[in-house]
Chains A and B, each alone.
Chain A
Amino acid sequence: MQPDSAVSVPTESPVVRGEADVPAQRPAGPEDGELVARLRQGDEAAFARIVTSWSPMMLRVARGHVSTDASCEEIVQETWMAVIRGLDRFEGRSSLRTWVFRILTNLAKTRGVREARSVPMSSMSPFAPADEAGPTVDPDRFRPADDRYPHNWTPVGAPVQWQPGPEQAAVAGETRRLLGTALQDLPERQRAVVTLRDVHGLSSDEVCAALDLSAANQRVLLHRGRARLRAVLEEYYRATGKVTS
C-alpha cells in the first residue's frame, strides 16, 4: 500500500456504477459522539459503514447540482476525502452527518456553478410549471359542485384498498420496480425531492438545504410527486384486478 497513491486515488479511480441493495439507506442513529470517537481512533469498519450508508444519498444530492454520473461520483469522493482530512478538526457542534452534508452541498454547488448546469435546482422560476399546478387527483372522480355532496368521491371514483398490500411478497418486487420507473418519469424537481425524502430518508430541512428550496416549495414538490406515484400503484392494482370492491 502506497500511502500517497491511496490518498490521491479516489478522485481518479474508475467508478463502476451499480444498483446497490444498501442495508442502511436510512440515516444513521444518534450515537454521534461514539461514531466520531471511533473514526478518530482509526476504526476502518465504522468509516466503511458510513461510506456505504451515506454515499447513495450523497450521490442523489450531488445530482441536484450537476448533470453527469461522473461528476456526482467525483463530488461524493471529494467529500469523503475532505471528511477524512478534516475529521480531527470536526468540533461536534452539529451532528457528523450534518457536517458531511454541508461539505457535500458546498462542493456540489461550487461544481454546479463551474459546470454551468443549464437548469440548476437553485435557479427556480417563481412561477410553477404546469406539472406543479392543478389537482393531483382526476377531478372526474369527485361529485360536481351542485351535487348533494359536492366535491366528495363518486361511487366509482373512490379509492379501493390494495390487496395484497404493496409490501406483500407476492407483489413487492413488481410494485418496487414500478415505483423505481415512475420515479424516473417524474419532473426533475419532484424526482429529486421525493427520492431524497422517501427513498433516502432525508428530513425536509435537509432537502431544503441541499436543493435550495423553501419549506413550502419542498412540500409542494413532495406532494405532487407522491400523488403521482400513488396513482401509478393504483393503476397497477386496477389493471391487474388486485383490489377489493
Chain B
Amino acid sequence: MTEDTRRPGMTISCQEVVELVTDYLEGELDDATRAELEAHLALCPGCDTYVEQMRQTIEELGHVPVDTLSEQAQEDLVAAFRTFHSPRSPGT
C-alpha cells in the first residue's frame, strides 16, 4: 500500500481535495475526478471530516440572521398591493 499511489483514492492528495471541495459539492467535477475524490474520502478520515465540516458550515449559514424591510415598510407595500389588486375594485 505504501508505494501504491495509483490505487483509487491515492492519486489525489489531501491538499488537492480541500481545494476541490466546492467544485465537488457544486456537482462541477467530471466523473473521473469525482470518483477519485470519493474514493479518497472513503480512505481518509481527515478529508472526510473536512468535507463534512464544510457541509455543516453551509447548513449553519442558513440560520444566520438577516436584515429585512421594517414592519412598516412591509405594511405599506401590502397597502399598495391592496390598492392595485383589491378584488372589489380591480386595479388599473
Contacts and interface: CB of A to CB of B under 8 A. Distances in A.
Range of interface residues on A (Cβ < 8 Å): 35 or more
Nearest to B58: A198
Nearest to B73: A15
Interface in A217-235: 219, 222-223, 226-227, 229-230, 233-234
Contact of B77 (A17, A77, A161): A77
Interface in B30-75: 44-47, 49-50, 52-54, 56-74
Contacts of A47: 77-78, 81, 85
A13 B87 CA distance: 26
Contacts of B18: 135-137, 227
A6 interface: yes
Given A15-B70, A77-B77, A200-B66, A219 B83 contact: no
Contacts of B63: 172, 176
Given A17-B67, A52-B68, A59-B68, A151 B14 contact: yes
A9 B57 contact: no
Range of interface residues on B (Cβ < 8 Å): 35 or more
Contacts of B66: 19-20, 22, 25, 56, 60, 199-200
A157 B80 CA distance: 58
B79 A1 contact: yes
A224 B65 CA distance: 22
A52 B83 CA distance: 19
B84 A18 contact: no
Interface of B: 2, 13-16, 18-19, 21-23, 26, 28, 44-47, 49-50, 52-54, 56-74, 76-87, 91-92
Interface of A: 1, 3, 6-7, 9-10, 13-22, 25-26, 39-42, 44, 47-48, 51-52, 55-56, 59-60, 73, 76-77, 80-81, 84-85, 87-88, 135-137, 139, 142, 148, 150-153, 157-162, 165-167, 172, 175-176, 179-180, 183, 194, 198-201, 204, 219, 222-223, 226-227, 229-230, 233-234
15 contacts: A15-B70, A15-B73, A18-B68, A19-B67, A56-B67, A59-B69, A76-B69, A77-B69, A88-B91, A135-B19, A153-B46, A158-B45, A159-B50, A167-B60, A229-B57
